[in-house]
Chain A
């Protein structure tokens, strides 16, 4: 079934550790996004990529980095995790930067 796959589904991480959240889509979408969802704050954009080879910062990029080496993959890296990065992370994609966005099932990350 075509769609977006995120891994892991959930993770408990010690503060200070490095972590990469994986996101793969098989729809050949050009644009991909990372959001975090927090109670009371809704969904906020972390980083985005309009096409392979390009990335950009969203609303809350600090402490996160991304890469877009190919069309299908858009990993999100936390270089040194902090408790405030405890959240549910969603990866999304769209055919272009302006069309319907599709979301993955999310990664629940707890930093302790």
Chain B
């Protein structure tokens, strides 16, 4: 059974720091991996999608890497800002026959203080 773990569960940093959020998964047979952001009481906003054949994706100050063989992904946030405060979720997509689903980690709750 695929399990997705995110470490740390919570993180509090001063503004300007570079951050690394970690995501690990137990089954390397994933199709892709997606990082989301969730603000309190809101829906999920897609940040980055990495296909299983890719090593990394970048969007602005965000960089996500994927090492499928070791079952790990990291989300790097450069020069953090208070507006980055949110919960960050990673999800892996599994495909088996006609069935597919996203399996989510529990998230990392990030607080960036001025």
Contact = CB atoms under 8 A, between A and B. Distances in A.
| A and B physically associate | yes
A108 to B, nearest CB: 8
A56 to B, nearest CB: 6
B100 A98 contact: yes
Given A98-B31, A100-B49, A101-B34, A56 B99 contact: yes
B102 A98 contact: no
B34 A100 contact: yes
Contact of B43 (A40, A99, A100, A104): A104
Given A102-B46, A106-B43, A42 B93 contact: no
Nearest to B99: A56
A101 to B, nearest CB: 6
Interface in B66-114: 89, 91, 93, 95, 98-102, 104-107
A103 B34 contact: no
> Interface residue tally of chain A, by bracket?
20 to 34
Interface in B17-46: 31-32, 34, 36, 42-46
B43 A58 contact: no
B54 to A, nearest CB: 13
A92 B34 CA distance: 13
Contact of B102 (A45, A50, A104, A105): A45
Interface of B: 31-32, 34, 36, 42-46, 49, 89, 91, 93, 95, 98-102, 104-107
